[in-house]
Amino acid sequence: MSQSVLHFALVGNPNCGKTALFNCLTGARAKVANYAGVTVEKRSGPLAGLSRPAELIDLPGTYSLYVASPDEQVARRVILGEMPGEVRPDALVAVVDATNIKLGLRLVLELKALGLPMILVLNLADAARQRGINIRTDLLAERLGMPVVETVAVRRNGVAALQAALRTLALDLKSRTGSLGLPERGEAVESLYARIDALLADCVEAPASAPRWQDRLDALVMHPVLGLVILAATLLLMFQAVFAWAAPLMDGIEALVGWLGGQVGALLPEGILHDFVVDGLIAGMGSVLVFLPQIIILFAFILALEDSGYLPRAAFLLDRMMRGVGLSGRSFIPLLSSFACAVPGIMSTRSISNPHERLVTIMTAPLMTCSARLPVYALVIGAFVPQRTVWGLFNLQGVTLFCLYVAGIASAALVAWVCRRRQGKSESFPLLLELPNYRWPNLYHFLLGLKERAWIFLRRVGTIILALSIVLWFLATFPGAPEDAALPAIEYSFAGKLGALMQPLFEPLGFSWQMCIALIPAMAAREVAVSTLATVYAVGGGDAALGSTLAHSWSLPVALAYLAWFVYAPQCLSTIAVVRRETNSRRATLIFTAYLFALAYVAALLVRHLAAAWA
């Protein structure tokens, strides 16, 4: 007899550890972080160890089946089998945050009314125990009429017991098809809560309130003035670290790349192949690779902050300002993920139900500084900004980087504000963002996240950056200079000609033809601006380290103008493509691209002239 696949779904409030459990049970590596709304789309994986083939589905968090925002609707529709082309789950694994059982039980009782077989998981059992919360699981199981398992998903505690419960449940489970109607809400909310209170009174012993230190910390962190100071200091520290801590590692990588170039160069006879391998391949990739330590340090901070519970508080703090410009807490997660890369950021705007707010979020997401800009920023800052201490504490390079990030954020706010003025006053959206408990970042997730980030970067270096470096080297090498050449050879090459063609357009900004040519491959990946500059300046006869070459070739105002250009310019074809896909409008995509290029041009022009006037 062939057996059909069983489907189990993980259901629960946001941030109760569903995805952490999903990863334990399926061996997946989906993103886990300490704020509500991390999972926005359903995801499934194979559930091994049962007597029959089975699949586990991870869903976005939801508070209730009866009120639903768009991402909560995903959960509801999957559970009820209303998703076209998807089978309805045969059984549910309800996950409840053991430190917040009351909220979780409301959903559990709603789910139970659906009549599907269920297991209740009390996750975060470690945090509950620490707070002196004591749960009589066997009594709770008896009263609810379903198995109850305590787990600590991040340490895999209780996962074996959960697997055993799943096995037992699977034994006499029949897979069914067809959708399930949402039953009429049978009772008033008051009586639902009365039932929950009775359950809690019998099964849970808990101290009266959450620990005091969390409240004290909140009072500090969310104080309207002090909170902003803390936020600014945190970010400054982060950018500080990017420069201060990375330096020795970067020197190491640079030395390694130089050594490799020397070794390989010695093996190859002088000539075109030698130049291609040493100047095109090794120098091109190496010039980007040196930024790996900075990328890792940046993400170490972001990942630690993500898991600590601080970020939603920062959003809460900024909510007033966000609301002032027509955005709300709903835009927070898309904008936050845009700091890594605008592409997933723009995709996650799907959870915003208001179309205008969604469009504004899409339009402003690329102004959040993505990690591909870091190498460009770091190169130019390293070359032009002295390593000086300012205000007795901060390093001028870190402060400059901080300013570039803030320039992006402030501009996004301005753009959102202008859009809102044009749209007219819309209803104000309340911030529906739950404040999670503070928590020490989980080391395993932290390291896993870092590894993933490093890998994404290395893969970019090994694929797109490598490919573009090769193309660029050819463009910069051929055709060769004539016999009676008066200028450096590169000026006769395709790259030189193309740069010369573009240069008049960028003349007002002071960009040299080399700076212009670097903008073209940077459309495919911003980092390539760095390797292109390395190639065009190396091939042009310079041999010193790229930074000092630039410091000699560009003036400070022009270097700052180049930075300003990169803050705004939509130098990324994948972002433009994803905007086209998500807005499904050619007009919106065109406006998006045009307005960002225009902004980049104006900003660079202003910066150049202001800096020149100042100096």
Ligand X SMILES: Nc1nc2c(ncn2[C@@H]2O[C@H](COP(=O)(O)OP(=O)(O)OP(=O)(O)O)[C@@H](O)[C@H]2O)c(=O)[nH]1
Q: How far is the CB of 130 from ligand X (least distance, A)?
A: 9
State which residue, 127 or 253, has the beta carbon closest to ligand X: 127
> Which residues form the interface with ligand X (CB under 6 A)?
12, 14-20, 32-34, 36-39, 60-61, 123-124, 126-127, 152-154, 307, 439, 442, 445
Q: How far is the CB of 146 from ligand X (least distance, A)?
A: 19
**DSSP-assigned letters across all residues of 388-414:** -EETTTEEHHHHHHHHHHHHHHHHHHH
Question: What letter would DSSP give residue 508?
Answer: G
Residues 6+ apart with CB under 8 A from 367: 408, 409, 411, 412, 415, 567, 568
Q: Tell me which of ligand X, Mg ion, none is bound by residue 148, counting a contact when its beta carbon lies within the kind-specific cut-off of 5 to 8 angstroms.
A: none
State which residue, 43 or 358, has the beta carbon closest to ligand X: 43
State which residue, 43 or 373, has the beta carbon closest to ligand X: 43
Dihedral sign, CA of 243, 245, 251, 257? negative
Query: Residue 320, class by beta-carbon neighbours within 10 Å (0-12 exposed, 13-18 middle, 19+ buried)?
Result: exposed
User: What's the chain's length in residues?
Assistant: 615
Residue with tokens 């998006």: 592
Taking the C-alpha atoms of residue 562 and residue 516, their distance in angstroms, rounded to an integer, is 10
Spatial contact of 269 and 525, defined as CB atoms under 8 Å apart: no
Q: Tell me which of ligand X, Mg ion, none is bound by residue 154, counting a contact when its beta carbon lies within the kind-specific cut-off of 5 to 8 angstroms.
A: ligand X
State which residue, 14 or 375, has the beta carbon closest to Mg ion: 14
Q: Tell me which of ligand X, Mg ion, none is bound by residue 100, counting a contact when its beta carbon lies within the kind-specific cut-off of 5 to 8 angstroms.
A: none
State which residue, 38 or 490, has the beta carbon closest to Mg ion: 38
- Which tokens sit at 65? 């089946």
The runs of H, that is alpha helices, within 487-527 are: 494-506, 513-519
Q: Tell me which of ligand X, Mg ion, none is bound by residue 126, counting a contact when its beta carbon lies within the kind-specific cut-off of 5 to 8 angstroms.
A: ligand X
Q: How far is the CB of 327 from ligand X (least distance, A)?
A: 20
SS3 of the chain: helix, strand, coil, percent, to 5? 65, 5, 30
State which residue, 59 or 520, has the beta carbon closest to ligand X: 59
Q: How far is the CB of 16 from Mg ion (least distance, A)?
A: 9
State which residue, 37 or 521, has the beta carbon closest to ligand X: 37
Taking the C-alpha atoms of residue 372 and residue 296, their distance in angstroms, rounded to an integer, is 12
| Phi, psi torsion values for 354, nearest 5 degrees | -75, 120
Q: Tell me which of ligand X, Mg ion, none is bound by residue 43, counting a contact when its beta carbon lies within the kind-specific cut-off of 5 to 8 angstroms.
A: none
Q: How far is the CB of 153 from ligand X (least distance, A)?
A: 4
Q: Tell me which of Mg ion, ligand X, none is bound by residue 124, counting a contact when its beta carbon lies within the kind-specific cut-off of 5 to 8 angstroms.
A: ligand X
Q: How far is the CB of 450 from ligand X (least distance, A)?
A: 15
Q: Tell me which of ligand X, Mg ion, none is bound by residue 33, counting a contact when its beta carbon lies within the kind-specific cut-off of 5 to 8 angstroms.
A: ligand X
Taking the C-alpha atoms of residue 580 and residue 567, their distance in angstroms, rounded to an integer, is 21
Taking the C-alpha atoms of residue 311 and residue 237, their distance in angstroms, rounded to an integer, is 16
Q: How far is the CB of 35 from ligand X (least distance, A)?
A: 7
State which residue, 12 or 334, has the beta carbon closest to ligand X: 12
Contacts 24+ apart (CB under 8 A), 505-510: 508/605, 509/558, 509/561, 509/565, 509/601, 509/604, 509/605, 509/608, 510/555, 510/557, 510/558, 510/561, 510/608
Q: How far is the CB of 10 from Mg ion (least distance, A)?
A: 8
Taking the C-alpha atoms of residue 550 and residue 559, their distance in angstroms, rounded to an integer, is 9
Rounded to whole angstroms, what are the CA distances from 295 to 14, 286, 378, 533?
Answer: 29, 15, 10, 20
Could you tell me the end-to-end alpha-carbon distance of the chain, in angstroms, rounded to an integer?
83
Q: Tell me which of Mg ion, ligand X, none is bound by residue 153, counting a contact when its beta carbon lies within the kind-specific cut-off of 5 to 8 angstroms.
A: ligand X
Taking the C-alpha atoms of residue 570 and residue 366, their distance in angstroms, rounded to an integer, is 7
Q: Tell me which of ligand X, Mg ion, none is bound by residue 34, counting a contact when its beta carbon lies within the kind-specific cut-off of 5 to 8 angstroms.
A: ligand X
Taking the C-alpha atoms of residue 568 and residue 572, their distance in angstroms, rounded to an integer, is 11
State which residue, 14 or 89, has the beta carbon closest to ligand X: 14
Q: How far is the CB of 27 from Mg ion (least distance, A)?
A: 16
> Which residues form the interface with Mg ion (CB under 5 A)?
19, 38-39
Q: Tell me which of Mg ion, ligand X, none is bound by residue 442, counting a contact when its beta carbon lies within the kind-specific cut-off of 5 to 8 angstroms.
A: ligand X
Taking the C-alpha atoms of residue 402 and residue 397, their distance in angstroms, rounded to an integer, is 9
Q: Tell me which of ligand X, Mg ion, none is bound by residue 15, counting a contact when its beta carbon lies within the kind-specific cut-off of 5 to 8 angstroms.
A: ligand X
Q: How far is the CB of 135 from ligand X (least distance, A)?
A: 14
Taking the C-alpha atoms of residue 530 and residue 515, their distance in angstroms, rounded to an integer, is 10
How many whole angstroms from its chain centre is CA 470?
Answer: 30
Spatial contact of 361 and 334, defined as CB atoms under 8 Å apart: yes
Q: How far is the CB of 449 from Mg ion (least distance, A)?
A: 14
Q: How far is the CB of 75 from ligand X (least distance, A)?
A: 9
State which residue, 37 or 510, has the beta carbon closest to ligand X: 37
State which residue, 439 or 609, has the beta carbon closest to ligand X: 439
State which residue, 101 or 520, has the beta carbon closest to ligand X: 101
Q: How far is the CB of 452 from Mg ion (least distance, A)?
A: 16
State which residue, 13 or 39, has the beta carbon closest to Mg ion: 39
Q: Tell me which of Mg ion, ligand X, none is bound by residue 16, counting a contact when its beta carbon lies within the kind-specific cut-off of 5 to 8 angstroms.
A: ligand X
Q: Tell me which of Mg ion, ligand X, none is bound by residue 329, counting a contact when its beta carbon lies within the kind-specific cut-off of 5 to 8 angstroms.
A: none
Taking the C-alpha atoms of residue 379 and residue 376, their distance in angstroms, rounded to an integer, is 5
